């Protein structure tokens, strides 16, 4: 099963997200895409809207971009896993590098959020990845393995966990598209260490319809996590179609 998803990050009004969801519903169909598990992660404001448009039986999973580890309480500005689930999320993105960089997310808070997500039966999508400096000195594998180990420390059943390897140097408008061989080492290490214990390891960072096929061919890559190139529905559908072909091989 190839997991193919997108996060809207901080884009789209509820109306825009609903329109996207309607076109996604049409593109994916009622029975889904064989061998492919699509997911979409809107802003918190649009989770319920997107879920409603996709419908309860949809083959597309809806997620939240973040959730707090506490079930409720005085945490102004946060939403809990329970609230995300109540809005229709079945997956929670945790530890994206933008949250680590700008909002103080650490390996310790990531670990708390993974536990909270599992406690409530949602799927954690744990994002890891090294910065350009670590990549330049050849420390990517150690860095990423340490991040995953910290996130999943002490959890006996990690079988529903998704890991997204997203090198920071490859993400966003200032990111650089990786050559497949630049991500092979980390994916190989993740596959050896975690391949039997997690649901899948995804790759993310400057994925687009032109490089999706080559990135999916990297051993150990079990899906793609896409930002910009999927914000237009045609881009997401093109990547889903590439994944469908890859899954059929």
Can 174 be counted among the known catalytic residues? no
Can 166 be counted among the known catalytic residues? yes
**Least CB distance to ligand G3H at residue 206 (A):** 5
Q: Distance (Å, rounded) from C-alpha 152 to C-alpha 156?
A: 9
* Residue number of the CB atom closest to ligand G3H: 227
Encoded tokens for 134: 């670590």
B/e letters for 214-223, b = 16+ CB within 10 Å, e = fewer, are: ebbebebbbb
Q: Distance (Å, rounded) from C-alpha 228 to C-alpha 202?
A: 16
Closest to 3 measured CA to CA, from 170, 162, 196, 121: 162
Whose Cβ is closer to ligand G3H: residue 196's or residue 222's? 222
**Least CB distance to ligand G3H at residue 4 (A):** 12
Pick the catalytic residue from 96, 98, 130, 187: 96
Write out the H or E segment, with its range, that includes residue 61: strand 61-64
**Least CB distance to ligand G3H at residue 157 (A):** 26
Q: Return residues touching ligand G3H (CB under 6 A).
A: 7, 166, 171-172, 175, 204-207, 225-229
Pick the catalytic residue from 49, 98, 166, 187: 166
**Least CB distance to ligand G3H at residue 76 (A):** 25
- 3-state helix/strand/coil string of 61-100: EEEECCCECCCCCCCCCCCEHHHHHHHCCCEEEECCHHHH
Whose Cβ is closer to ligand G3H: residue 69's or residue 203's? 203
Asked if 138 and 176 count as a contact pair (C-beta separation under 8 A), the reply is no
Whose Cβ is closer to ligand G3H: residue 36's or residue 94's? 94
Whose Cβ is closer to ligand G3H: residue 200's or residue 207's? 207
Known catalytic residues? 96, 166
């Amino acid at each position: 099963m190839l997991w193919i998803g997108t996060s809207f990050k901080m884009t789209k009004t509820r109306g825009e997200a609903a329109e996207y969801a309607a076109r996604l519903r049409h593109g994916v169909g009622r029975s889904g895409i064989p061998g492919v598990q699509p997911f979409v992660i809107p802003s918190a404001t649009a989770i319920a809207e997107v879920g409603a448009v996709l419908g309860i039986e949809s083959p597309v999973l809806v997620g939240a971009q973040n959730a707090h580890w506490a079930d409720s309480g005085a945490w102004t500005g946060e939403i809990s896993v329970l609230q995300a689930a109540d809005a229709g999320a079945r997956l929670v993105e945790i530890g994206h590098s933008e949250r680590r960089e700008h909002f103080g997310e650490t390996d310790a808070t990531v670990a708390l959020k993974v536990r909270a997500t599992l406690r409530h039966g949602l799927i954690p999508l744990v994002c890891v990845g090294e910065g350009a400096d670590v990549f330049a000195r050849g420390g990517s594998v150690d860095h990423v393995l340490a991040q995953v180990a910290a996130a999943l420390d002490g959890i006996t059943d990690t079988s529903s966990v998704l890991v997204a390897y997203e090198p920071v140097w490859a993400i966003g408008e200032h990111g650089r598209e990786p050559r497949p061989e630049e991500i092979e080492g980390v994916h190989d290490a993740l596959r050896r260490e975690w391949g039997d214990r997690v649901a899948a390891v995804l790759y993310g960072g400057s994925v687009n319809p032109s490089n999706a096929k080559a990135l999916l061919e990297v051993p150990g890559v079990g899906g793609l996590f896409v930002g910009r190139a999927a914000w237009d529905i045609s881009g997401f559908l093109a990547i889903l179609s590439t994944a469908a072909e890859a899954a059929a091989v």
